[in-house]
Structures are given as C-alpha cells and as structure tokens.
Amino acid sequence: MARRYELNDASPVVVIGSGAGGATLANELAQEGIDVVCLEAGSRLTLADVENDPALMGERMGWNDPRVGAPVWLCKTVGGTTMRWSAITPRIQAHELKARTTYGALDDTTLIDWPLTLEELAPYYDKAEDKMGVTGTHGIPPSFETSCYKVLAAGGRKVGYREITSARTAINSVARDGRPGCLQIGFCHEGCKIGAKWSTLYTEIPKAEATDHFELRTNAMAQKIAHDAAGRATSVVYVDERGETHEQKARAVAVAGNVVETTRLLLSSASSLFPGGLGNSSGHVGRNYMRHVTSIIYSVMPGAVNFHKGTRQSGLIMDEQYHKPERGFAGGYFIETAGDYPESVAGTVGGWGKPVGDYLEAFNRLAGVFITGEDPPQAANRISLHPTERDRYGLPVPVLEYSMHRNSDALQRHAIQQTTAVFESIGGTDTRATRGVGPACHNMGVARMSARPDDGVTNRYGQTHDIPNLFVSDGSAFSSSGAANPTLTIVALAIRQADHIAERMRRTEL
C-alpha cells in the first residue's frame, strides 16, 4: 500500500517519530502531495497486540532503554505516546502564550513569551480537535459520565466551581472517522483495544499511507542528522532491527522523538560546523525542560465509586486554569478525573504496612484526581548526554535533571488543597496526594520557539534558527508549559508547521 523510497532519494522530508507531532506532520504533508519518510524506533502493533495488561503493554510499547534521572513515560512504538495518553485535550490560553508578559520575570526562571498568539493558533486548534474527535467540539457529544466524573463534578459544584465538563477528551463518545465509540474498557494507558481513543497508529499513519506519498520505516532508530558544508540538513543516519546502519537522504528533516529523544538526537548530531549539536548555537538545546506540575490525589468516599470501571480520565474542572496571582503563584492548573487499579494505587500512596493495606481495603470507594499545571522553565532543568555510558545502539544515555521551582511547589500545594476541599465537601476522608516531582508524562521545552535566536532553538514555526531545513515537531518546541495537557497543542502546531513547510516548498524556499 505504501510507497517505498530509495535511500539516495533526496526528495522526501524525513520525519523522526510517529507520535502526535511526527505522524500528524507526516500525514498533513503527504495530504499536500509532499513525499515523507517517517522513521520510528519502535515496532508496529495492531489492535490484536493490545491487551488490558499494564505490565505487558509496558514491555510491548514502553521506551525502556536506560536513562539517568527522573522517570519519563515515553513509548517506543508506532503511535508513540498517543498509544499511552489519557486523551484530555484542553487548549492553551491566550495569556499563557504571553507567559513572560503576564507573569513577569519570575526569579530563577527563563520565562519567555511564545512567538505566536492564540489568534494565530486558534484555527489550528479547530482543525486538531476535528482531526482527533475531541468531545464537545464539532458537534461531538460530551464523553460518558463515569462514576469518577460524577463524584468530582458533585464535589466541584459544592465548593462553587462552574467550569466542569465531561467533554474535552479525544476519545470517541460516538462512532466517528471509522472508529467506534468508547466502551468504557478502562485500560486507556495500555493502548485502546478498540481504537476509540485517538492514536496516530490507526489514524494519521494509515491516512498518510493511502496518499502514496508516505513510507513508514519501523524499528528504525535515528542516530544522527547529517548536514552539508553550507549547514543544511542532508540525511538521517539510522540503525534497523538487524543492527545495520542506513542513511536516508532528505529534503528537510523534522524531529519529533518526544523531548528526551529529540534532545539526544540534536546533541548526538554534533559536528565540526555545529560542535554543540544541531540547532544549538544559543546553547538552549536540552535546556528549559518542563514537565508540568502534577499530583495524583485520592480520597475515600462514603460509598461505592469503583473508579476503575470506565475511561481512566473522563472529565475536568477548569476554574483554576487562570492566572490569579492572589493565589500566591503564577499560572494555573486543571483538576482532572483519574481512575486507577490496585497496584497503581498502592504504588502511588507509597510506603508499606497498615497505612497502605487499610487504604487499599477502601479501593472501591476511592475517587481520584490528576493535576496538571504550569511549570516555569529553568535553565538548570535540562536533558544532556552521559559522558561515558552508551546504550545498545551505541548512543549516549540521556541524563535528565529536574527540580521543582517554588512557583510549581506553591501551585501544587494549592491544587492539593482545593482538590481535598472538593472531595471532602461530599464526605471524602483520608485524602492522600503525591507531592514533589512525579513521573513526567508531559515533557516540554528543550528546543523552544523564541522570537530571538539567542533565546531558544526554533522560530514560530518550529524551524531551527540555525538550520533552515531542520524542524522540531513535538512538545520540545513549547516556549512555556501552560497548564493544558500538551498533546492537542502539539497536534495543532504540527498542522500549522505542515502548512508552513508546504507553503515554503511551493515558493521553492525549502
């Protein structure tokens, strides 16, 4: 079905990664008649490979290569992290795109404004929501109200919140775009068994293949982006599943490896012309690494909830997303429902003995919340390459350094306090919250867009300031984190970037 390209054919755009950013960009380009080769480090699963088994799917699709530092939650599989995501899809707000202007110069941060406005982004949000089937948009009904949602909504209303919705989720509430409506299976993070949740594995990828302008190469681990003497990207070197090295020539290159891998590839591609790595004349590649402020919060309700029965995340309270400095911090956050299973509750509550055992005894009465909130960029929060350790591809092991800014700490405290009030307003007791740094499922900012080339890595289209035919197409390009779960914005930016690349190619500028 799909087209095949020769390695020495320099006409295709080479896209690295097949997740939210990479596959969306690839499909949008292919729909425009632009040839694309997509390199994916993982293999291609089918829905038959998806099972309601967290550990098995962690082996089958997780990115389990060695790393130093705080855990991240990447996937090495066609579809990338869109296989694992919860599919909550709020938009970034206008004031969040003007983070530096709105919040001022927060001490010890490297805050900047995005070099684009919400007016420019809004049409692409519309397209992204249509593409992904976001509930509550484009005439799509809201999502099913799970028990966890009903509990959160009741508590939220009781404490005076008004913006409470079971919409804003990229899981089909009804059959749409050749995919079925959600059956409330509950194992969203293990890959959606029926394809109701938007994942590029069964949306963007097959649609791109149908254009005859697209080739997907699986088990293809990119090692290096090569360039010519003029400093233009010319090819991508990758290793296949047999360990053989290949070099695909390219008209342009777009990197969408999810923040950790995007950093590693740009830095690993250092050359005599670009000794600090590609796109890194500013020194910002790998810097300003953001993870969102998160917390997982449980509370024991007076009666049965059974929060495992249904979509893992099925609705949210949006009232706290705004910038209200009187709360004692800059930026805002979302309070989102979160169902869970026993092993995960035990791990999140932590510890051992009666405090854990007794909590699990109340398993079917637990309600849960996942917080996601603004995390300002800091120069010291960064991803770099280990000086000596190498993985099985011979690539330097990534080193992740991250600590919470005090603004993030204050935001997290507030979010826990508010969520506790929500739960306890309807009789919740023994509310427990994770503090500090959680595992990052939202990774952002290591190749940020900036108006000034010395402030970041990419321009307002995700094109690197240094190399005109090298693009960044994932959350790495975020200038700041905002509060919203990042995938919708990644997809909107990728659609916009595809328009930009197509237009530049029409004008033969690329």
Among positions 332-361, residues that touch other proteins (CB under 8 A) are 338, 340-350, 352-354, 356-357, 360-361
Question: Residues of 56-78 as b/e, b for ≥16 C-beta within 10 angstroms?
Answer: ebbebbbbebebeebebbbbbbb
- State the Rg of the chain over Cα: 22
Cβ–Cβ under 8 Å, residues 148 and 131: no
Nearer to other proteins, 283 or 350 (CB): 350
Q: Does residue 111 sit in helix, strand or coil?
A: coil
Per rule CB under 8 A, is residue 386 in the interface with other proteins? Answer: no
CB of residue 372 vs other proteins: minimum separation in angstroms?
11
Q: State whether residue 94 is helix, strand or coil.
A: helix
Is residue 221 involved in binding other proteins (CB under 8 A)?
A: no
Site for other proteins in 397-416 (CB under 8 A): none
- Total Cβ atoms within 10 A of residue 130: 15
Write down the least CB distance from residue 193 to other proteins, Å: 5
Residues in the chain: 510
DSSP output for 74-87: -B-BTTGGGGT---
Binding mask 419-458 toward other proteins (x if CB under 8 A, else -) reads -------xx------x---xx-x-----------------
The least distance separating other proteins from the CB of residue 218, rounded to whole angstroms, comes to 17
How far is the CA of 456 from the CAs of 182, 381, 389, 459, in angstroms?
A: 40, 14, 28, 8
Distance CA 34, CA 46 (A): 27
Binding of other proteins at residue 505 (CB under 8 A)?
Answer: no
3-class secondary structure per residue, 27-73: HHHHHCCCCEEEECCCECCCHHHCCCCHHHHHHHHECCCCCEECCEC
Ranges within 254-313 binding other proteins (CB under 8 A):
294, 296, 301-306, 308-310
When asked if residue 393 is in the footprint of other proteins (CB under 8 A), the reply is no
What residue has token string 């790595």?
277
Q: Is residue 51 a contact residue for other proteins (CB under 8 A)?
A: yes
Residue 317 binding other proteins, by CB under 8 A:
no
Q: Which residues contact 197 (CB under 8 A, 6 or more apart)?
A: 85, 87, 170, 171, 172, 182, 188
Can residue 142 be called a binding residue for other proteins (CB under 8 A)? no
Q: Which is nearer to other proteins, 234 or 425 (CB)?
A: 425
Both tokens of 129, joined, read 């929501």
Closer to other proteins by CB, 130 or 240: give it: 240
- Closer residue to other proteins in complex, CB, 302/328: 302
Per CB under 8 A, 48 contacts other proteins: no
Q: Does 364 contact other proteins by CB under 8 A? A: yes
Q: Select 230 or 304, whichever has its Cβ closest to other proteins.
A: 304
Q: Which of 32, 145, 240, 389 binds other proteins (CB under 8 A)?
A: 145
Residue 123 within binding range of other proteins, rule CB under 8 A: no
The count of residues interacting with other proteins (CB under 8 A) is: 73
Q: Is 80 in the site for other proteins (CB under 8 A)?
A: no
Rounded to the nearest angstrom, the gap between the alpha carbon of residue 254 and the centroid of all alpha carbons in its chain is: 17
CB of 166 to other proteins, least distance (A): 10
396-401 sheet: strands from edge to edge: 68-69, 396-401, 382-390
143-to-186, 205, 247 alpha-carbon distances in Å: 14, 25, 45
Residue nearer to other proteins on the CB measure, 151 or 510: 151
- Residue 204 or 340: the one with the smaller Cβ distance to other proteins is 340
Start-to-end CA span in the chain (Å)? 28
Among 7, 11, 33, 71, binds other proteins (CB under 8 A): 71
**x/- string (CB under 8 A) for other proteins, residues 161-200?**
---------------------xxxxxx-x---xx------
Closer to other proteins by CB, 58 or 396: give it: 58
